[in-house]
């Protein structure tokens, strides 16, 4: 069996099947997966083979079952679990998994040994990646090493018939980690969960040590508590994630079947769900139609929710811009100004992992932030890359994540954040070493972005290995092709890549592109007519600057003066005219920013990346608009000026205007892409780039692309978190081209 079959209870599962079928032989881990030797009646062997994939344990993913004859051995009398063969580091580490139903029942059962024990887990659930310090994966090389098993736990651990057989983090109240509640560095007497619950119900803010880092929690139904949390974190608008039981989620959201199954996956990601039913404080996600919810994913979180009986805010515990705190002392120091109390425990976090963030669009699930529960899952490289060498791809500057390829698999690392921030940069460097060790990776080649100013690019160039520089939006295109298993010789695809910023091959900044190409190369067949980024970096934070330059270009200077009379327009216009700090950009993201500002949907200065785009999407959501604003398309250049003029003359509500914006933009880009397919130059259309996280835009594009094969992102982020996968594929394709 190949796939995610190690460290997930696969060997005892096979042992159980073999005993059921009366087979003799053995099962072991080897460098490629799990190897089974079985002998017995033909029919029983067939049943075993069928059951291997069909009945696999919850955390397993079986990519392939390859069967062949075995002559058997003399003297076999039973079926055994054999010691592992030579190490095969690349497949041995599984992602962290949410508490399974059996363990949940156990912590709620008064008669059970683990009643109310916050660190209960088994082979089918519990921490993995966040506790591993080295390979091979066994207890001695995890942060559970300081907790010797008691006799009862040891017996469970050694029994192949027990669901805790070889569960490395196995623990109980006698031998395992302990949680406590503290204020001002002093532990309070009593049960941690009960004390924390009382504090939360009194409106206090509590730091909670989770799997991949500390969270800040408060009562999500208490508007004062939420406001206090926002004020202390100096985070005015960015949505806060929530956790609650299924009943709580259902009471406040509209949850479709696909969303329920995503919430209930062992990865337990944050899922963006439409607000519905009982109203929660607006301050949780100002102006948003959706709230991010996750189910409790550790026993500690379950116990807390059980006691407080209401949803909790569960937002990452960090100083603004910095990565989440993971150490107890680090949390005491950094979160003292935020939290009234702390739920601590004495199991160390080996590796910082944010919560994953995902959503379901009409076209399926979409990962926005790939982290806890998803990494270090691997994905198979597309056909034609089976023999690709080992590549290390460094990713971009924002939403940094690296990618490693080896043995036909790609390991896309977890979301690290913005590399400008010193501590995030440290985390990035640590991740490079960490993944190299875990994956036993020795790259023959390094892939980087074209942008020399990216720290990731500089670090890649300094490695002294063959270097491949990959254009940013080509990497986005290759990423979505790769995720969809597009064969290396599968022909060209036309990619609509709508993004924030990325350096183009002509030295201007791209971000609203139509690229025709494959893994090995591309040409630019369409783009948004460039406008200056007035003030350079300032244009990425201040939406009004993008409104100004676009209005001016449309001949609507007077309207700009009315809309933003209080801004330093003359100064900015002078700088733009002189070409000072005003690089040209075809960025779709900045056009979204400018239009959201003009509609009054986004503040002039945004408090988090993507704020304006999210506001524009939220305003347009659910409005059935069939006519879009006119975007002029000539020679592949999409000019938004006519749409600004049409909007200025019309009298429509902001929501309708936003919907018409999505519709018009989609029609223009889809038109160019369709033409490439119709002319036989491309075999499919691919959608990528950060702007593609917008479900309204995605739906409009899919409508305009009906009848054409379309490749979409699902498990790999459309934003720069998925960039490294594309970089790796482009590098592999270029390096091996005949």
**Site residues for Zn ion per CB under 5 A:** 100, 103, 122, 124-125, 150, 153, 172, 174-175
Query: Pick from Fe ion, Zn ion, none: which does 283 bind, CB < 5 to 8 A by kind?
Result: none
User: Helix/strand/coil (H, E, C) string of 554-589?
Assistant: CCCHHHHHHHCCCCCHHHHHHHHHCCCCCCEECCHH
**Of the two residues 103 and 493, which places its CB atom closer to Zn ion in the complex?**
103
175 versus 194: smaller Cβ distance to Zn ion: 175
The binder of 153, among Zn ion, Fe ion, none, by C-beta within 5 to 8 A per type, is Zn ion
User: What sign results for the dihedral spanned by CA atoms 432, 436, 439, 445?
Assistant: positive
Going by C-alpha positions, the residue among 206, 140, 151 that lies closest to residue 179 is 206
Q: From the CB of 280, what's the least distance to Zn ion, in Å?
A: 31
Q: Which residue is nearest to Fe ion (CB)?
A: 499
Is residue 563 within 8 Å of 547, Cβ to Cβ?
yes
Closest by CA position to 633, among listed 604, 665, 662:
665
**Which option in Fe ion, Zn ion, none does residue 463 bind, with CB closer than 5 to 8 A by kind?**
none
| 449 lies in the binding site for Fe ion (CB under 5 A) | no
By three-state DSSP, how is residue 134 classified?
A: coil
Phi, psi of 673 (to 5 degrees): -65, -45
513 binds Fe ion (CB under 5 A): no
Task: Report the C-alpha gap between 155 and 311 in whole angstroms.
Answer: 38
Query: Smallest distance, Å, CB 412 to Fe ion?
Result: 15
Specify the residue, 97 or 551, whose C-beta has the smaller distance to Zn ion.
97
Residue pair 500/511 in contact by the 8 Å Cβ criterion: yes
Q: Which is nearer to Fe ion, 17 or 475 (CB)?
A: 475
Least Å distance between CB 328 and Zn ion? 22
- 466: Cβ contacts below 8 Å, ≥ 6 apart: 444, 445, 446, 735
Rounded to whole angstroms, the Cα distance separating 568 from 558 reads 14
Binding flags for Fe ion, 535-574, as an x/- string (CB under 5 A): ----------------------------------------
Stretch that binds Fe ion, among 443-451, 679-687, 692-700, 712-720 (CB under 5 A): 712-720
Q: With beta carbons less than 8 A apart as the criterion, state whether 304 and 219 touch.
A: no
Q: Tell which residue, 620, 495, 640, has the closest CA to residue 556.
A: 640
633 binds, options Zn ion, Fe ion, none, Cβ within 5 to 8 A by partner type:
none
Q: Which positions ≥6 away from 12 have C-beta within 8 Å?
A: 81, 123, 160, 161, 165, 166
Contact partner, 499, from Fe ion, Zn ion, none, Cβ < 5-8 Å per class: Fe ion
Binding mask 31-50 toward Fe ion (x if CB under 5 A, else -) reads --------------------
User: Residue 175 touches which of Zn ion, Fe ion, none (CB < 5 to 8 A by kind)?
Assistant: Zn ion
We find the least distance from the C-beta atom of residue 469 to Fe ion, in angstroms, to be: 15
Nearer to Zn ion, 175 or 289 (CB): 175
Separation of first and last alpha carbons in the chain: 33
Looking at the Cβ atoms of 103 and 249, the one nearer to Zn ion is: 103
For residue 539, which of 598, 590, 493 has the smallest C-alpha distance?
590
The stretch among 171-179, 222-230, 351-359, 501-509 that binds Fe ion (CB under 5 A) is: 501-509
State CA 615 to chain mean position distance: 21
With contacts defined by CB under 5 A, how many residues of the chain interact with Fe ion? Answer: 3
Q: Tell me which of Fe ion, Zn ion, none is bound by residue 100, counting a contact when its beta carbon lies within the kind-specific cut-off of 5 to 8 angstroms.
A: Zn ion
Q: How far is the CB of 391 from Fe ion (least distance, A)?
A: 19
Q: Which is nearer to Fe ion, 90 or 499 (CB)?
A: 499
Q: Of 527, 543, 514, 556, nearest to 641 (Cα)?
A: 556
Minimum CB distance to Zn ion, residue 352 (Å): 24
720 binds, among Zn ion, Fe ion, none (CB under 5 to 8 A by kind): Fe ion
> How far is 29 from 94, CA to CA, in rounded Å?
14
List the one residue from 96, 340, 513, 720 that touches Fe ion (CB under 5 A): 720
- The least CB distance from residue 497 to Fe ion, in Å, is 8
Give the residue with the Cβ less far from Fe ion, 60 or 367: 367
Please, which residue, 148 or 256, has the CB nearer to Zn ion? 148
What is the nearest approach in angstroms of Fe ion to the Cβ of residue 164? 44
Q: Which of 705, 702, 710, 699 is nearest to 621 (CA)?
A: 699
Task: Give the residues across from 405 on adjacent strands.
Answer: 391, 410
From 70-78, 136-144, 205-213, 502-510, span contacting Fe ion (CB under 5 A):
502-510
Compute the least distance from the CB of residue 583 to Fe ion, in Å. 16
Residue with smaller CB distance to Fe ion, 502 or 664: 502
Closest CA to 258 of 153, 366, 374, 118: 366
Q: Is 499 in the site for Fe ion (CB under 5 A)?
A: yes
Asked whether 476 and 726 are in contact (CB, 8 A), the reply is yes
For Fe ion, the binding residues (CB under 5 A) are 499, 502, 720
């Amino acid at each position: 069996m190949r796939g995610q079959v190690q460290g997930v209870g696969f060997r005892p599962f096979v042992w159980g099947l073999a005993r059921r079928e009366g087979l003799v032989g053995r099962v072991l881990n080897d460098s490629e997966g799990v190897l089974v030797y079985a002998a017995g009646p033909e029919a029983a062997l067939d049943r075993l083979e069928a059951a291997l994939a069909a009945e696999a344990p919850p955390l397993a993913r079986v990519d392939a079952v390859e069967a062949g004859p075995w002559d058997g051995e003399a003297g076999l009398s039973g079926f055994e679990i054999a010691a592992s063969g030579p190490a095969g580091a690349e497949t041995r580490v599984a992602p962290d998994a949410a508490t399974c139903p059996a363990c949940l029942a156990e912590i709620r059962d008064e008669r059970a040994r683990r009643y109310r024990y916050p660190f209960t887990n088994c082979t089918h659930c519990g921490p993995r990646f966040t506790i591993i310090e080295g390979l091979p994966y066994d207890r001695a090389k995890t942060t559970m090493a300081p907790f010797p098993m008691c006799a009862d736990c040891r017996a469970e651990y050694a029994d192949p018939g027990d669901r805790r057989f070889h569960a490395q983090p196995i623990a109980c109240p006698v031998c395992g980690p302990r949680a406590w509640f503290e204020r001002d560095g002093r532990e309070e007497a009593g049960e941690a969960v009960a004390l924390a619950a009382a504090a939360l119900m009194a409106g206090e803010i509590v730091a909670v040590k989770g799997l991949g880092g500390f969270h800040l929690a408060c009562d999500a139904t208490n508007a004062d508590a939420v406001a206090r949390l926002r004020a202390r974190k100096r985070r005015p608008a960015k949505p806060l994630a929530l956790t609650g039981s299924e009943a709580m989620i259902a009471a406040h959201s509209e949850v479709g079947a696909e969303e329920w199954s995503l919430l209930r996956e062992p990865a337990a990601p944050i899922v963006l769900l439409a607000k519905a039913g009982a109203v929660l404080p607006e301050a949780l996600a100002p102006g948003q139609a959706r709230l991010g919810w996750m189910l409790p994913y550790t026993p500690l979180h379950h116990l807390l929710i059980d006691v407080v009986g209401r949803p909790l805010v569960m937002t990452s515990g960090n100083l603004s811009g910095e990565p989440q705190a993971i150490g107890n002392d680090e949390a005491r120091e950094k979160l003292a100004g935020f939290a009234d109390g702390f739920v601590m425990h004495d199991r160390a976090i080996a590796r910082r992992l944010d919560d994953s963030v995902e959503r379901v669009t009409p076209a399926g699930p979409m990962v926005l932030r790939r982290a806890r529960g998803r990494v270090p899952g691997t994905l198979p490289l597309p056909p034609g890359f089976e023999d690709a060498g080992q590549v290390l791809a460094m990713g971009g500057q924002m939403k940094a994540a690296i990618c490693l390829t080896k043995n036909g698999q790609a390991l896309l690392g977890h979301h690290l954040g913005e590399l400008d921030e010193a501590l995030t940069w440290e985390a990035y460097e640590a991740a490079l070493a960490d993944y190299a060790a875990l994956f036993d990776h020795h790259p023959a080649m390094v892939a980087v972005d074209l942008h020399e100013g990216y720290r990731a690019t500089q670090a890649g160039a300094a490695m002294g290995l063959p270097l491949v520089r990959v254009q940013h939006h080509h990497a986005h295109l290759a990423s979505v092709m790769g995720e969809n298993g597009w064969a290396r010789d599968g022909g060209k695809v036309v990619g609509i890549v709508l993004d924030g910023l990325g350096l183009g091959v002509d030295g201007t900044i791209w971000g609203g592109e139509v690229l025709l190409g494959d893994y090995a190369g591309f040409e630019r067949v369409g783009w948004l007519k460039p406008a200056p980024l007035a003030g350079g970096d300032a244009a990425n934070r201040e939406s009004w600057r993008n409104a100004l330059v676009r209005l001016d270009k449309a001949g609507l200077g007077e309207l700009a003066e009315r809309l933003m009379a209080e801004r330093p327009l003359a100064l900015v216009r002078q700088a733009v005219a002189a070409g000072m700090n005003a690089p040209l950009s075809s960025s779709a993201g900045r056009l979204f920013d400018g239009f959201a500002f003009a509609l009054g949907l986004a503040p002039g200065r945004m408090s988090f990346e993507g704020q304006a785009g999210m506001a524009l999407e939220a305003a347009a959501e659910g409005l059935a608009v069939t006519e879009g604003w006119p975007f002029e398309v000539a020679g592949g250049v999409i000019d938004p000026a006519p749409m600004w003029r049409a909007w200025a003359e019309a009298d429509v509500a902001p929501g309708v205007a936003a919907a018409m914006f999505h519709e018009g933009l989609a029609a223009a880009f889809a038109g160019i892409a369709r033409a490439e397919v119709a002319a036989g130059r491309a075999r499919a259309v691919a959608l990528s780039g950060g702007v593609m996280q917008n479900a309204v835009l995605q739906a409009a594009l899919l409508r305009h692309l009906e009848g054409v094969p379309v490749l979409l992102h699902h498990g790999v982020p459309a934003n720069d978190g998925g960039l490294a996968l594309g970089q790796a594929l482009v590098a592999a394709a270029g390096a091996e081209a005949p």
